[in-house]
Amino acid sequence: MRKKLIAGNWKMFKTNSEALQLANQVKIKTTEISKTKIVMCPPFTALAAVADVVRGTKIGVGAQNLYWEKEGAFTAEISAGMIKSTGAAYVIIGHSERRQYFGETDATVNKRLISALENGLTAIVCVGETLNEREANVTRDVVGKQIRGAFNGITASDFSQIIVAYEPVWAIGTGKTATPDQAQEVHAYLRQVMADEKGREIAESLQILYGGSVKPENASELLSQKDIDGALVGGACLNADSFGAIIHSAEAL
């Protein structure tokens, strides 16, 4: 039985004092949560501070990206080891905003994933189609290619440190959510691709999160779908009431 996981992608929001406030509020609102895993992904600047706030709780902390080299003359980049040293244990890789604005490709997603795994971080690997791609009926081709590219050369034993997030690009930050049926269909397809590529056991244990305008009003129905194991939440994770409500919806299932 796969556990539910609710992760919050703070994107480029929250100064350090705001981050401390939000992390503390989420901590207070989730003291009774026992079954659902919670992960908060603040900007790099607040990772250590947020990790300090949640130390000793069940809340995990993650970065939103990493660079695959260990160290070197790579101005402004952050390595997996640096992320680990803040107390964070997770990292988001291949978010569509990174693909869209910063040239991320399936090949660089793969390099980042390998570096995350080597450094003991759990990776949340994002895939998803654009509106044009959905309308052209190529969603399966697109997400299949993304997931195969991301996991190129990744071996069975690594999958305990890998989570997938299906995030249709047309649903991110737009208020348009995939219907539970639309999301379930792609999640089931991704699980099938994983079964074909890496075997049924890995496919069945892999957590696949849905992301794209998840809010308290739609969380429960999405999270009830058979192959939806949690959510990657953007906008609604910036407020402790709405993020807390989504977490409580997952816990109630």
List residues binding ligand PEP (CB under 6 A).
Answer: 9, 167, 172-173, 211-214, 232-236
Nearer to ligand PEP, 59 or 171 (CB): 171
Active site residue ranges: 95, 167
CB of 8 to ligand PEP, least distance (A): 9
CB of 225 to ligand PEP, least distance (A): 16
* Token pair recorded at residue 237: 């994770």
Q: How far apart are the first and last CA of the chain?
A: 13
Q: Which residues pair with 209 in a beta bridge?
A: 165
CB of 169 to ligand PEP, least distance (A): 10
Measured in degrees and rounded to the nearest 5, phi and psi for residue 56 equal 85, -5
Nearer to ligand PEP, 143 or 232 (CB): 232
Q: Which amino acid is at 42?
A: P
In the bound state, the residue with its beta carbon closest to ligand PEP is 234
Q: Count of alpha carbons within 13 Å of 90, Cβ hemisphere only?
A: 27
CB of 246 to ligand PEP, least distance (A): 10
Nearer to ligand PEP, 165 or 203 (CB): 165
Three-state secondary structure readout of 145-199: HHHHHHCCCCCHHHHHHEEEEECCHHHCCCCCCCCHHHHHHHHHHHHHHHHHHHC
Measured CA to CA, the distance from residue 68 to residue 134 in angstroms comes to 31
Nearer to ligand PEP, 7 or 113 (CB): 7
Q: What share of the chain is helix, strand, coil (3-state, %, to 5)?
A: 50, 15, 35
Nearer to ligand PEP, 183 or 232 (CB): 232
CB of 211 to ligand PEP, least distance (A): 3
